[in-house]
Amino acid sequence: MTPTPPEPAPKLAPTGLRWLLISLAALIAVMPLMHHGCSCGHDFDFHLLNWMEAANQLGHGNLHPHWAFTPAFNAGEPRFVFYPPLSWYLGALLGLLLTHLPGVGAVTGWNTTPILFTWIALAAAGFAMHRLAREFAGANAALLAATLYVVNPYMLFTAYERTAYAELLAAAWIPLLFHAILREKVTIPRIALPVALLWLTNAPAAVMGSYTLALLAAMRVIATYRSGVASVGTSENLPTRRQDALRLTLNTIAGTALGFAIAAFYIVPAEYERRFVQIAMATITGMRIDQNFLFEHTGTSGDALLHDQVLHTASVIAVLMLGATAVALAAAFLARKPKPHANAFPTLTLAILTAGIAFLLTPPSLSLWNHLPQAVYLQFTWRLLAILAPILALTVSVVLTRLPPRLSVMAIVAVVLTVALSHPAYHAFQQPCDPEDTAAARQALFHSNAGTDPTDEYAPATADNDALSPNNPPWWLAVSATDGPPAAAEPGGTPMHFSVAAPRAEDLVLNLRDYPAWRISVNGALQTARVRRADGLIAIPIAAGPSTIAIRYAHTADQTAGDAISLIALAMLLVTLRRNAQPTR
C-alpha cells in the first residue's frame, strides 16, 4: 500500500502576509533602537517617568491614577488628570510586564519598554493606514501605503528625535478618522471610536483630528447636496440627495458627540480642573504658534537656537511632504478612472485639506490660530504633518492601483522603502543619551527620595515652582506656616497616614502640593483650613500634643460626572453596534 504523502503546510493568506509585512516594516524601523538603545529625545524623560509612576500605582491597586507623587520633588502634581491616559497606561503595562518576566531585570525591562512601545505604535499605525487605503485602492497598493505611512519622515522624526510617544500612538487613530468620514457609508460608531481614541491619547492630535473631521464632513455634505442639485430631472432627484446630506450631517454630529462622551471620564475632569493649575504655561516662549511657523527664527540665546534648529528640521520635512503630496494628488487627478473595486477617490477634498495645512504653516494664518478654540494649545504648527501623512500615503496608493502592482513586487518595494527611509532618518534624528537621561538613571531617580522636576502647566494655580525646594522632608512643624524646613532634613514624599506630636500649637507643613481633591483629617476631623504658601505646599494648623494625620485623594464630583457620561456612552455605543449588526429584513 502506497503511503499517503504528508499534506503541504498551509500557505499564509495574502491578507495575513500583508499584515506580517507591515509588522516587519515597523520592526525594521525600530531595529536601530534595538541595536544602539533608546533615543533620548525631547520628551523621553517625561514619558518614561510617567510610565514608571503609573506602573507603581497600578502595582499597588490604583487602577485609575490621577495624582503623580514623584514630580515637584515629591510634592506631586495632578499630571494624570490632564495628560490623556492611553499612552501612559500602555507604557506602564509594558513596563510591568517586561520587568516581571523571568530573568529580566528592572533596568533591562525599562530600557526595552520605549522600544516595544514604538514598535506597537508604528505597527498599529500601519494596520490603520492599510484599512483606510483598502477603501480606495487595491490590496497590494494599500500595503505600500501602510509602509509609507509607518516610515514617513514626520513619523520617524516623532519617534527618533522628539520621542513624543503619545503623539506617535495617536498616529494609529488618524487614518481611522479619515476612513470613517470618507467611506461610502458614514455611521455613528465609526466616527465615535477614532474621536474617542484620539482624545484619550493625545490632546493636540485630538484637536487636529476634530477640526479635520469637521472640514471633511462639511465638504462632503456640500458635495452631496450639489450633486443632488445637478441631478434634478434625472433618475436621482433633489429630495433624495438632500436626505443623504442630512443623514451624513446628523451621523457625523452624533458620532462626534458620542466619541466625546466615551472619553468624558478624561475630558470632563481635565476641562473642569484646568482652573486649578497653570495650564497657560503650556504656551510659554518657544511653544507659541507665532514662534513655530516654517523656518521662523526666535532669537540668539542658547534655548532659541536649539528651538530654531528643531523648527528648521520640521520645516524641511514639511516642505518635502507638501511637495510629495501635491505631486501625488496631481497624479491621482490625471489618472482618475473609476475602478469597480474602489470608491471614488476624493481628490479635490484632500487637495483642499492639503492647501489648508500649507496655509496654516505660514504666518498669514496667525489670526485664524488665535480665534479657533483650543488651537493655540497645538503649540507647534508643524504638528499638522500628522494629518498630512495619511493624505500622502493614501494618494500614493490610489496612483499605484492604476498599475496594478503584484504582491511580490510590493513586498520587495515595501521592505526597500522601509530601510531606505528609516535608517537614514535614525542617523539624522536620533538623540544621544546623557548619563542622567538613560532609562537606568531615570529608574534610579524614580526610586530615590529626591523626586523629579515639576511640570510648569500642572503646578497649582497659586504655586511658584521657583519657590519650591528640591530637598523638602515629608513634613515638618513650623511656628509660621510660611517657614521652610529644618536644615539637613532627609527629603521625601508625604505619607498618607502618620502621627506627629507637637510641643505646642503649630503649623504642620506637608511636602504635598495643595489641590482641591486632597482630603486631610486630623484626629478623625476633616481639616479645611489651609495657609497659602508661595511654593504651593499644604500647611494646616494642629494643636499641641499627639495628632494622627490621614490623607486621601478624593474622587471629585467632576470625575464622577465624567465616569457616568462615559459609561452611558459606552452602553449607547454597544446598542448602536448591535443594531447595525442585525441583518435587515
- Tell me the per-residue pLDDT of 254-271, one tens digit each, with 9 for 90 and over: 999 999 999 999 999 999
H/E run at residue 546? strand 545-553
Spatial separation of the C-alpha atoms in residues 546 and 174, rounded to whole Å = 58
* Whether residue 236 has pLDDT greater than 60: no
- What are the grid coordinates assigned to 569, written together? 456612552
Task: State mean pLDDT over 381-386.
Answer: 97
Return all residues near 265 (Cβ < 8 A) that are at least 6 apart: 559, 562, 563, 565, 566
Cα separations in angstroms, 207 against 170, 196, 200, 296: 12, 12, 12, 23
Helix axes 557-581, 188-199, angle to 10 degrees: 150
Spatial separation of the C-alpha atoms in residues 14 and 121, rounded to whole Å = 23
Spatial separation of the C-alpha atoms in residues 55 and 240, rounded to whole Å = 54
H/E run at residue 549? strand 545-553
Q: Where are the domains of the chain?
A: 14-435, 461-558
Task: State mean pLDDT over 61-90.
Answer: 96
Lowest mean pLDDT among 64-73, 128-137, 220-229: 220-229
What's this model's pTM, rounded to 2 decimal places? 0.93
pLDDT in the model for residue 1: 44
Quote the DSSP letter at residue 7: P
Bond from prior residue into 404 cis (ω within 30 degrees of 0): yes
Q: In 3-state terms, what secondary structure has residue 477?
A: strand
* Whether residue 547 has pLDDT greater than 80: yes
DSSP 444-456: HHHTSSS-----G
Is residue 145 within 8 A of residue 129, CB to CB? The reply is yes
Task: State mean pLDDT over 50-63.
Answer: 96
- What are the grid coordinates assigned to 481, written together? 506656616
pLDDT in the model for residue 342: 45
pLDDT in the model for residue 283: 85
- What are the grid coordinates assigned to 289, written together? 504658534
User: Cell 455613528 belongs to which residue?
Assistant: 188
pLDDT in the model for residue 51: 98
- pLDDT tier at 109, thresholds 50, 70, 90: very high
pLDDT in the model for residue 228: 53
pLDDT in the model for residue 373: 92
Lowest mean pLDDT among 80-84, 131-135, 136-140, 349-353: 136-140
- What are the grid coordinates assigned to 149, written together? 505611512
Q: What is the b/e burial string over 120-135, where b = at least 16 CB atoms within 10 angstroms of the residue's CB? A: bbbbbbbbbbbbbbbb
- Tell me the per-residue pLDDT of 328-337, one tens digit each, with 9 for 90 and over: 999 999 877 6
